[in-house]
Structure 1
Amino acid sequence: MTSPVGLHRVLEPGGVLPQAAWRLDTRPEIAPNEVRIRVERLNLDAASFRQLSVKHGGDGDAIRAEVLDIIATRGKMQNPVTGSGGMLIGTVEEAGRRSPLGLKAGERVATLVSLTLTPLVVTDGLAGWDGRSEQVPCAGWAILFARSVAAVLPGDLDPQLSLAVLDVCGAPALASRVVSRYVAERAVEGEARPVTVAVVGGAGKSGSLALAAARRAGAGRTVGVVPVVAEREALVAAGLADAVVLADARDPVALSTAVTSALGVPADVTVVCVDVPGCEHGAVLATADGGTVIFFSMATSFAAAALGAEGLAADVTMLVGNGYVPGHAELALGLLRGEPGVRGLFEARLAAD
């Protein structure tokens, strides 16, 4: 029986969903509710790429070899250390007659589900990738299930730019939802106090989009936290935050002090978008009682976050950014088109890669 969530593609161990599986069936023949994509480019998630780069000391050949080995062994791209993967763009080769995704052969699409659950085969040995950037040109195929999510690539944007934005489109959508709720609640209560938002990693892909989304959702004051002067200068030039501060997000006191000093109060909403571990306690400390922390990073230890909040007697709601919010692709692409600061940061990042 063909499962809408891909259970029929799980080879081992049995009884788990594709994301939790060790190995997937990558045969190119599709079931009536599946879609086969001819892959053009992968986008490795930031946490995974950083881990691989650090492990191999930036050796591109070694990084490429490990990515190839992971895909060949597991039938998907899932970093065994971070547990994360990324997403891809490609062209629809064949859509099953009962696929609910509405995709047609020949359409160029971005998959909005993780590579950790997407059956994937690479056929070119990643010969066009030097192993030194998150974006990976390649040839091969991938399979989408009935419960997968994909977006047709917009014709007005460079595909690499679209891929970079869509890879993190869940972050601005969730930030917008949370901030909008705070704004609405204060309006109902007649409270004039502005909603304050801190984004840790504000100059990155997900961070810059989250800042822009928070402002559009009605945040009264925003602060972007970055680790180095170059990122501070870039984020100030982009004009996406009311204040930009330097702090090591792994230092709880330094992060909390930087955010509180910039905002005058702890943040009502803190969004963690960094790709390094150890930022959980600082994010909790930087957030006001009754506030919300959104962890949009696969480097997060959710045990550390939960136990840390308990140990600090912090009355905060903690959310896992799962990458999917209805309308997330449209919202992120709209921010890219409508916010020159966002577009500038993304284009500079792509040029540097």
Structure 2
Amino acid sequence: MLPDACIDVNPTGVGGWVSSSAYGLHRVVEPAGVLPQQAWRLSTDDRLWPDEVLVDVARLNLDAASYRQLRERHGSPDAVRSAVLGIVEERGKMHNPVTGSGGMLLGTVREVGPESPLGLRVGDRIATLVSLTLTPLRITDGLAGWSGEGEQVPCRGTAVLFGRSIAARLPDDLPDGLALSVLDVCGAPALTDRVVRDAGPGSSVLVLGGGGKSGSLSLAAARRAGADRLVALVPTDTEADAVRAAGLADEVLVADARDPVAVADTVGEQVDVTVVCVDVPGCEHGAVLATADGGTIVFFSMATSFSAAALGAEGLAADVRMLVGNGYVPGHAEFALDLLRTVPGVRELFDRRERHTAST
């Protein structure tokens, strides 16, 4: 048992445990002894331990890497919908077994345990800031309201938050879908801000996938943190035109981030900081080649192979620091929402993405 992690006995004895863990150990069905994110299956029982919160789910936001993999693997929207429903039913959480990633959700607080430390109240409309890969989730409507297209999944069901979970109340001034899109990736701009400030004034920054959600926010964060040369690399001319129109970068380049030589040649002079925000695998070596010795690479993509990144840097004799973006920095939700509200180019790209999703 973890020290200071357990609370009082739950008389229901759900799952056979007599006490709950703030980390959610009591919800692990199999295998025993692992944390919820590592678990194959979680208990979704609606009966709460004293430190838990029960949420009525209204919408899931699948992470980009997971949704891309599901779409490419299953093809038709109906098959994608069935695949998501099957994962949740089998595992008690949305945890893509191929990408290892999930997403987050939007919902309304139904019940708050008397010892919950999260500060939430019944009726609060919230977005969870912890991954669906560790959140007990039950879907009750068979995803009947989702076409199978797009990362946002309207649904009905319940989810459980633990004592160490994180959630944000939804802002009143933004549409739910837009707020959910921002909060889904809010760790990226906050960590980018920290890393660029550490690099010092006048640093150069490259964002791979600069036209996406996390990429556009990271560009804005890098600018605010004092980056002097700001480079966005995107895969198509259409996306490049959108990023240029948004005014978020000094240079907007087009290349396949999976082609390391093309990335290095296109970027030219190496940068101090590279932020990887793509949703496809195979972009590690391009990031290494584009980063100067002594520089830093931040990997936010859930499609990243960290062994490929480490061994690739070793094989290229690259003296670079590599960071895993873990999605949490104190104040990250407020920071990302402020960028959306105050940087017109960020809002423009998010609105463009929403319009495109609505039209497909």
Q: TM-score, with normalisation over the residues of structure 1?
A: 0.95
Instruction: Give the equivalent residue in structure 2 for 1:36.
Output: 54
Which one of 82, 92, 115 corresponds to residue 132 of structure 2? 115
Gaps of 5+ in 1: 187-193
Distance 2:163 2:150 in 1: 31
Distance 1:67 1:76 in 2: 10
Which one of 282, 305, 321 corresponds to residue 325 of structure 2? 321
Shift in Å, 1:350: 1.2
Instruction: Give the equivalent residue in structure 1 for 2:64.
Output: 46
Instruction: Give the equivalent residue in structure 2 for 1:209.
Output: 217
Give SS of 1:269's match. Answer: strand
Which one of 274, 291, 296 corresponds to residue 295 of structure 2? 291
Distance 1:181 1:98 in 2: 38
Query: In the TM superposition, what whole-angstrom CA distance separates every residue of 1:10-54 from its partner, at most 9, and x where no partner exists?
Result: 000000000000000000011110000000000000000000000
Letter of the structure 2 residue corresponding to residue 116 of structure 1: T
Distance 1:53 1:211 in 2: 28
Query: In the TM superposition, what whole-angstrom CA distance separates every residue of 1:152-191 from its partner, at most 9, and x where no partner exists?
Result: 00000001000000000000001000001111xx6xxxxx
Report runs of 4+ in structure 1 exceeding 6 Å deviation.
none
Superposition RMSD in Å: 0.6
- Equivalent positions of 1:305-344 (< 5 A) are 305-344=309-348
Shift in Å, 1:246: 0.4
Query: In the TM superposition, what whole-angstrom CA distance separates every residue of 1:99-139 from its partner, at most 9, and x where no partner exists?
Result: 11000000100000000000000000001100010000000
Is the aligned partner of 1:56 residue 2:74?
yes
Number of residue pairs matched by the alignment: 339
Instruction: Give the equivalent residue in structure 1 for 2:36.
Output: 18
Letter of the structure 2 residue corresponding to residue 288 of structure 1: A
Give SS of 2:61's match. Answer: strand
Distance 1:348 1:242 in 2: 21
Distance 2:261 2:275 in 1: 17
Give SS of 2:327's match. Answer: coil
Shift in Å, 1:348: 1.0
Instruction: Give the equivalent residue in structure 1 for 2:257.
Output: 249
Shift in Å, 1:328: 0.4
Give SS of 1:344's match. Answer: helix
Distance 1:322 1:159 in 2: 24
Distance 1:294 1:97 in 2: 39
Shift in Å, 1:258: 1.4
Letter of the structure 2 residue corresponding to residue 275 of structure 1: D
Shift in Å, 1:257: 1.5
Letter of the structure 2 residue corresponding to residue 50 of structure 1: R
Letter of the structure 1 residue corresponding to residue 71 of structure 2: S
Distance 1:229 1:103 in 2: 45
Distance 1:328 1:274 in 2: 20
Identity, % of aligned positions: 68
